[in-house]
Amino acid sequence: MSGQEKQHFISAAQLFSVLFIGRSIVLVTINSGLGGSENFSDLIASSFWVFLMTFIMAIPLWMIARKRPGLNIIEEGYYVMGRVGIIIPIFYALYFSVINWYYLSVFQIFSSDVLDPRTPTWVIAAAVLVVACYGAYKGLEAIVRAGGIILALICAGFIFMICSLFFKMDPGNFEPFSEDGLKISFYSAILFLCRSSSISVIALLLPVVKGKKKLGFTVWNTALWIGASIIFLVMIGVAGDFLKLQTFPLYTVTSMAQLGPFQRLDAVFLGGWLTGLFIKIAMDLYLVSLCVKRVLGEKAGRISILIGAVITGIITQISTNSRSLQTLFFGPWLYFPLTLTAAFLIPLFLWLADLRKDRKKVEK
């Protein structure tokens, strides 16, 4: 990162609050198709695989951070590869742009299927992008501060939902794992992970994070595992096989929730998703600008926020009416190789190349 960027620090708690929101959005969009299994019991097992695989995939990144604590993944690329390192910020700029296409596309489909049909879906998507652009322009500190407030509201809504649905759970709704449960749950975990850019976000921001980073990472990953497992258990206990027929099963379950005078908590669900989506897209647009800035300078970096938002809006609007694009976005064939490369393969390559470079220096 540039010297100017290093002057703006955030805490580990702020970083992992934003990352928690990003992973939560993936969770609320899960259904039998996106989860890779019609048996939601398999998704409980998959949450453990996600927990374990997240730790494994992050190992090369932590090794780089230990060796070069002042360098993010972009600067590490330039340090190891010289001028050829320009491919690193270019790749990450494209990656964070493409990952936004998924998040906004799912919300557009939700809007067209569930919300008031008299409101065009592009209006809601445009509003999200405008607010996200503003957040990205305000910078990292503004995004994480807003993220902390939104996370508190999401957690409050989560607790409220669990309390209201707990006594509606029926043990008869639970079913055993599928015959190929191990294989299916592992595949579901891959589908879940390939839509999450959390490790890549850490790779770009780690040098400006203060505090107990490894502890924050462990708490974040563990909380996601426990939270996802609880949500899947409650969903199965309340709705059972009915979940298989729902495009957005968590939304369906929240619409059944009530506590005292409070009826239908689907508005809480929608509010959490919408505000979380704003944080997620704002962070990704900011990271795109960070990558572009490293290649083309400050002015180009700021312009890239608007360009990235416009392209995201156009692509997601097209995907709403395109079966082929939906198949591409919601399957593993686009996002799995991209996320694997961004989160694991690039850090692994740079770490090994850095070690090799040090050995050559010693030999000389």
CATH number at residue 89: 1.20.1740.10
Q: What is the mean pLDDT of residues 128-139?
A: 94
Write down the mean pLDDT value for the chain: 86
Q: For the chain, what is the domain count?
A: 1
Which residues constitute the domain of residue 106? 3-363
Instruction: Place 251 in a pLDDT band, splitting at 50, 70 and 90.
Output: confident
Q: Is the pLDDT of residue 2 over 70?
A: no
| Token code pair at residue 81 | 């590869």
Supply the pLDDT for residue 11.
94
Give yes or no for a contact between 286 and 302, defined as CB atoms under 8 angstroms apart: no
- How does pLDDT run across 67-102, given as a tens digit for each residue? 999 999 999 999 999 999 999 999 999 999 999 998
pTM: 0.91
Q: Is the pLDDT of residue 178 over 90?
A: no
